[in-house]
Amino acid sequence: MSTSALPQSIQPYAVQGGLEGRLTALPLPQLLQHLRLSKATGVLTVTAGGARKAFYVRQGRIVFATSNLPNDRLGELLLREGKITVEEYEASIKGLSKGKRQGKALVEMGALSPKDLWDGVQFQIREIVHSLFEWEEGLFQFEISDLPERERITVDLDVGDLIVVGTRRMPAGGPIRNHFPAGQAVLGRVVGVDAGALESYERHVWELVDGKRTTLEICGRSEIGQPETLKVLYTLLAAGIVRDEGALQAETFDSDFVSEDETDSVLGDFNTMYAFIFGRMLAEVGPITENVFEKYMAKLREERKEVFGGIRLDQDGRLDAAAVRRNLSHIPQEAERLSLLVEALNELLYAELLAVKRTLGAEHETAIIKALQEQT
């Protein structure tokens, strides 16, 4: 696999004959989407501790899956689903000692029909694939190779639909939060891509995507809250239903400063927005504003210690710039410092807008977003 021919986001994981890395760095949805778009053929193996699951991929579509976990065995699954009895399960286990597959033993016993076996194996494969989305950590390795011909019962899973279904199992507060779209990103729909597999709440978010609104604006208009909206947007991007159109100057809050090299400039622009939001909230609800915002700030102090550790909002809603700089001082690379800073500041901005929405209503949140846009 030529490294130069790979997308920039995939290049760090290229090795001789395939890819390897950690799911925390390259989450499963993005990894699968790459295999889909590149029409790859081979075996994707993911391990965590002693657990191992593998997908067999042909031309970018999943055709088979295996697992070494007992709960993923065909007999265990059929028993849980009520397709066979405990007695039939135990009898089929005896057949395994003779080198026979459990499914075949169950058919020969009359416990399953051939159709039941085919349906059961296909269900088993889907369950193994879907369950891997619940893994927050793990090492992956994709090896370009021919697929084994031993497997006779296979599936033909579209990876796009799989990403949508599987990502629903991933917590919004898990590792994928580090891969959510940036607040200044303008998102647009991909023409000709079917969005029919979406749930109603996902379609609600998809319909807010119009090629003009930023991630921040979409979160502001969404009825499902910022974390879940970001997760849906991530899903739509990973599945190729939505694309990042880049940052449009007229449509973003922070496009003017994301390219700046000075931490003070970034903090200054965000602090201007924080003070504006705080002031609007204070005018409506009075002194309890500080308590409302502190609730959200406390969570971010824990989740974003590298930026917000030990920091509280000032009386006007601003952050102490000197304290933020001290927190970031241990990170030697300026680009990395700025990246962490902008991500964390965006999260605080989302949180404050969510606080406004929950306290005052969506119309106040929308008015604030509009006012902030007019100021940029």
pLDDT tens track for 174-191: 888 888 887 778 899 998
- 25 with 155, same domain? yes
In angstroms, the first-to-last Cα distance of the chain is: 45
Same domain as 229, residue 277: no
Rounded CA separation 369/220 (Å): 8
- Average pLDDT of the chain, as a whole number: 85
Model confidence at 32: pLDDT above 70: yes
44 within some domain = yes
Q: Is 277 found in the same domain as 156?
A: no
Whether 248 has a pLDDT exceeding 90, the answer reads no
- Per-residue model confidence (pLDDT) at position 259: 37
Residue 132 lies in a domain: yes
d(CA 92, CA 183): 55
pLDDT at 2 (0 to 100): 52
Give the model's confidence band at 159: pLDDT under 50 very low, under 70 low, under 90 confident, else very high. Answer: confident
Does 223 map to a domain?
A: yes
- Do 147 and 212 have their domain in common? no
Residues 209 and 278 in one domain: no
Q: What is the pLDDT of residue 150?
A: 63
Burial of 229 (0-12, 13-18, 19+ CB in 10 A): buried
CB 206 within 8 A of CB 334: no
Residue 211, Ramachandran bin (φ over 0: left; ψ between -120 and 50: alpha; else beta): left
Residue 151 lies in a domain: yes
How many domains does the structure of the chain reveal? 3
Q: Which of 228, 251, 274 is the last residue of a domain?
A: 251
Q: Is 135 exposed, middle or buried (0-12, 13-18, 19+ CB in 10 A)?
A: buried
Alpha carbon distance 269, 342 (integer Å): 11
The boundaries of the domain holding residue 303 are 263-375
pLDDT at 41: 93
Q: Which of 225, 251, 277 is the last residue of a domain?
A: 251
Identify whether residues 77 and 39 lie together within a single domain.
Answer: yes
| pLDDT for 249 beyond 60 | no
Q: Are residues 23 and 76 in the same domain?
A: yes
> Do 189 and 150 reside in the same domain of the chain?
no
> Are 138 and 14 members of one domain?
yes
Residue 246, strand partner residues: 186
The verdict on 152 and 27 lying in the same domain is: yes
Tell me the per-residue pLDDT of 282-330, one tens digit each, with 9 for 90 and over. 888 888 899 899 988 998 988 888 899 899 998 889 998 888 888 888 8
Residue 19 and residue 153 in one domain: yes
From its phi and psi, is residue 68 left (phi > 0), alpha (psi between -120 and 50) or beta?
alpha
Note whether residue 169 is domain-resident: no
Residues 337-361: tens digit of each pLDDT: 788 888 889 889 988 998 898 888 8
Q: In the prediction, which pLDDT does 328 show?
A: 86
In a domain, 110, yes or no: yes
Q: Is residue 246 part of a domain?
A: yes
Residue 327 lies in a domain: yes
Do 241 and 197 share a domain, yes or no?
Answer: yes
Query: Measuring CA to CA, which residue among 135, 107, 118 is closest to residue 47?
Result: 135
Pick the last residue of a domain from 162, 197, 220.
162
Residue 343 gets which letter from DSSP?
H
> Could you tell me what percent of the chain has a pLDDT over 70?
91
